[in-house]
């Protein structure tokens, strides 16, 4: 009746951008990510007969409003699947480096899926957890596994889930540059919806994403870090281009975003392989090899405070916690 789990966030190298089914969260395109060790969420779910609704405590505060509704909707699905109508106390803590501004729905819903599945007695296999996490947030389906992970878009609820493809234990690093820690004005959910509905570039995005995915799998197979970086950077740019062509148009980029993009180009000119990727926000992640991290940090420290620069290693998959410490 009680279970706890920890899940790490992930960064997409081939982006998920657009839903085919908003209810089931089925994506328009398959995607591929790297799970990171630097940011994680721990969640404990305790079934309590005395409760008349779910109670959610996030980072020490009672959660209400839109974020709480999303979690309650998710818990209702868990109750539907298990046939157990009992409400739960959900205590969840995000472990993100101070000042990074990253609160991740990927790690959040992966940790919630695992702890809720176990507490309500549902199937806890990787496939089942990935499918369940997907119902909370698409990108959460990938945080069930560590290393490089592919989310196969599938055609229906049963076959849209993530699979691990490589442990990523051969020297890849991500330097996260926190450009702005404010909450973004357009959520990824709204941003992708507007893009699917209005961007004339969207059909091209879908074709390109599938092509990029195939090439990325080859690059990972060959441990070719430069190729991984090149494909990831191009894929992120294509995703962001779809938004500029949407109605009304929008972008998540800020001045600082462009600064980091230019630094990546500059570092490459200096012979340091370093490539950016950007999600639905202004922050930038630089893909590089462990031996170049110091030079990259040194370059960026002329433009950003040190606390805005976080180096992440590949992280593990979801873990059940026997003796949860919050
Ligand atoms: C740009 O998984 O946050 O980060 O499924 O609506 O919750 P919902 O969206 P979410 O979108 C992530 C979008 C992205 C790309 C990615 O992570 O693949």
Distance CA 43, CA 107 (A): 10
- Confirm or reject: Cβ of 25 under 6 Å from ligand 1: yes
- Residue 321 located in a structural domain: no
Give the nearest ligand 1 atom to 105 CA.
3
Query: Are 179 and 256 a contacting pair, CB within 8 Å?
Result: yes
Cβ–Cβ under 8 Å, residues 30 and 150? yes
Among residues 145, 167, 189, which one ends one of the domains?
167
Domain final residue, candidates 131, 148, 167: 167
Residue 318 lies in a domain: no
Residues 117, 155, single domain; the answer is yes
- pLDDT score for 252: 95
Q: CA-based angle 77:79:85, to the nearest 5?
A: 145
The residue whose C-alpha atom lies closest to atom 6 belonging to ligand 1 is 189
Shared domain for 105 and 19, answered yes or no, is yes
Distance CA 231, CA 225 (A): 10
How confident is the model over 255-308, as pLDDT tens digits?
999 999 999 999 999 999 999 999 999 999 999 999 999 999 999 999 999 999
Specify whether the CB–CB gap between 3 and 118 falls below 8 A: yes
Do 146 and 225 lie in one domain? The reply is no
Count of structural domains, the chain:
2
CA 281 to ligand 1 center in whole angstroms: 11
CA of 137 to the centre of ligand 1 (A): 7
Q: Determine the structural domain holding residue 20 and report its residue range.
A: 2-167
Asked if residue 68 is part of any domain, the answer here is yes
- Are 276 and 186 part of one and the same domain? yes
Mutation test residue for ligand 1: of 8, 11, 13, 16, the one with most atoms within 8 Å of CB:
16
Same domain, 79 and 184: no
Rounded Cα distance, 241 and 201, in Å = 8
Q: Are residues 148 and 71 in the same domain?
A: yes
Q: Is 53 part of any domain?
A: yes
What confidence score (pLDDT) does residue 201 get? Answer: 98
Rounded distance from Cα 202 to ligand 1 centre (Å) = 16
Q: Is the CB of 15 under 6 A from ligand 1?
A: yes
Atom of ligand 1 nearest to the CA of 33: 18
* Long-range Cβ contacts of 68-75 (<8 Å, 24+ apart): 70/136, 71/112, 71/136, 74/109, 74/112, 74/113, 74/116, 74/135, 74/136, 75/116
Tell me which of 26, 138, 149, 253 to substitute to probe ligand 1's pocket, judged by most ligand atoms within 8 Å of the beta carbon. 138
Helix-helix angle 225-244:188-198, to 10 degrees: 70
Q: Are residues 160 and 177 in the same domain?
A: no
CATH code where residue 177 lies = 3.30.70.890
| 96, 182: one domain | no
Do 10 and 129 lie in a common domain? yes
Supply the CATH number for residue 93's domain.
Answer: 3.30.230.10
Same domain, 104 and 209: no
Domain boundary, last residue among 116, 140, 167 = 167
Same domain, 8 and 156: yes
Low-confidence ranges of the chain (pLDDT < 70): 97-101, 103, 323-326
Task: Tell me, yes or no, whether 129 and 196 share the same domain.
Answer: no
Ligand 1 touching residue 189 (CB < 6 A): yes
Residue 317 falls inside a structural domain: no
Does residue 250 lie within any of the structural domains?
Answer: yes
Q: Would the CB of 138 count as within 6 Å of ligand 1?
A: yes
Ligand 1 contact, 225 CB (< 6 A): no
Interface predicted TM-score (ipTM) of this complex, two decimals = 0.99
Residues 6+ apart with CB under 8 A from 193: 19, 22
φ and ψ of 247, to 5 deg? -120, 120
- Stated pTM of the model: 0.96
- Of all protein residues, whose CA lies closest to atom 5 belonging to ligand 1? 138
Ligand 1 within 6 A of CB of 107: no
324, part of any domain:
no
301 found inside a domain: yes
């Amino acid at each position: 009746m009680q279970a706890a789990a920890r899940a790490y966030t992930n960064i997409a190298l081939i982006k998920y951008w657009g839903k085919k089914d908003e209810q089931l969260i089925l994506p328009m395109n398959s995607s591929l990510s790297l799970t990171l060790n630097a940011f994680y969420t721990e969640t404990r779910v305790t079934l309590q007969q005395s409760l008349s609704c779910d109670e959610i405590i996030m980072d020490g505060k009672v959660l209400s409003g839109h974020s709480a509704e999303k979690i309650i909707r998710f818990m209702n699905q868990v109750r539907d699947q298990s046939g157990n109508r009992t409400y739960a106390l959900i205590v969840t803590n995000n472990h993100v480096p101070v000042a990074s501004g990253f609160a991740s729905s990927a790690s959040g819903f992966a940790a919630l899926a695992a702890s809720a599945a176990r507490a309500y007695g549902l199937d806890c296999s990787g496939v089942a957890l990935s499918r369940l996490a997907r119902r909370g947030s698409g990108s959460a389906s990938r945080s069930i596994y560590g290393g490089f992970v592919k989310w196969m878009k599938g055609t229906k609820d049963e076959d849209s889930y993530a699979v691990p493809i490589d442990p990523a234990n051969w020297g890849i690093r991500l330097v996260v540059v926190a450009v702005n820690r404010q909450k973004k004005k357009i959520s990824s959910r709204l941003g992708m919806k507007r893009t699917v509905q209005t961007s004339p570039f969207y059909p091209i995005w879908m074709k390109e994403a599938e092509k990029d995915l195939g090439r990325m799998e080859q690059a990972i197979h060959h441990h070719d870090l430069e190729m991984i970086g090149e494909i990831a950077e191009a894929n992120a740019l294509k995703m962001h281009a779809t938004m500029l062509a949407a109605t009304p148009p929008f972008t998540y980029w800020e001045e600082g975003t462009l600064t980091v993009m230019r630094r990546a180009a500059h570092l490459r000119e200096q012979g340091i392989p370093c490539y950016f990727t950007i999600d639905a926000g202004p922050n930038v992640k630089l893909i590089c090899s462990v031996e170049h991290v110091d030079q990259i940090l040194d370059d960026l420290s002329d433009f950003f405070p040190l606390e805005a620069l976080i180096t992440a290693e590949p992280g593990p998959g979801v873990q059940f916690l026997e003796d949860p410490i919050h």
